[in-house]
Amino acid sequence: MRLESESAAVREAVPAEYVDIAAVVTELGATTTLMFVLAMCYWLTRRQETALVVSYTLAGAAFLIGLKAVLGMPRPPEELFVIALDGDEYGFPSGHTFAAVVVYGGLVSAFDRARDPALVAGVTILVVLVALSRVVLGVHYLGDVIAGLVLGVAFLFSLERLTDGRPRTGFAVALVFALPAIVVTGGAEEALIALGGAVGGLFASRYLEDLPALRSRIEGVALSALGVGFVGVMLAVESVVGGVVPAFVALYSTIVVGILLAPAAVAGLEL
């Protein structure tokens, strides 16, 4: 089921000098990178559509962390790891692959670019490379990333139909997934982040249509700088919050509210 021998063949097929490249590629499916991509798309391009993908991402994170805990299938042996891992001890299905499908595929779909063959091909290659990097780095079996890919496509398709383009519905779905995920994981950090993000998204989504449009490139630069600075400060506060669950949830709720409502903070500036 997890294709262990096939995974070994993939690892052996990649020369040692390319492993560092795999370590870079795998970051394209990491939480920090995906948060940055979504934030920049939201601040600089189409806000309603990007907010919808943010809601998909939070819902997907809660869904997957709960599923992995229920299945309880471990990662490959640690002696195969090429990179260090923090936290998540479960390997099936692959979270990086799932998240890459939901975020990059979600942006293509939400921006109505699914009929652009070059873009679809590029995103497909990107997702496959992220998936294979997880196998090359020894942190997943091939079966894990295939499952992450299939689940990601199915989840994205389902959320598109369920939300009908409404971010508020997407954040409500994220909240529904986050609550049982917290229970089955015993309060895992990823589940708490999803809960906080869902609550913040539900609040901020009420005001999305009232936000002013981006007026200039200079305003875009100012908005990006303000937003990145805000998120940086909030993440620094995380070390102070520590294991206080209500404060941790409130922190990530504030981060999502700040990202989504940041355009209002620069609307009155003369730029």
What length is written for the chain? 271
Alpha-carbon distance of 163 to 177, in angstroms, equals 14
- Rounded to the nearest integer, the mean pLDDT of the chain is 92
pLDDT at 271: 46
97-262-235-171 Cα dihedral, nearest 10 degrees: -50
Percent of the chain with pLDDT over 70: 97
Relative orientation angle of helices 167-185 and 189-204, to the nearest 10 degrees = 160
pLDDT at 242: 66
Is residue 76 over pLDDT 70?
yes
Q: Would you say the pTM of this structure is higher than 0.85?
A: yes
CA distances from 49 to 24, 195, 231 (A): 28, 21, 21
| pLDDT digits 0-9 by tens, 199-252 | 999 999 999 998 988 888 888 898 999 999 999 999 888 877 766 788 889 999
pLDDT at 269: 62
pLDDT at 156: 96
Domain extents in the chain: 4-264
CA atoms within 13 A on the CB side of 147: 19
**Where residue 268 falls among pLDDT bands split at 50, 70, 90?**
low
Is residue 265 over pLDDT 90?
no
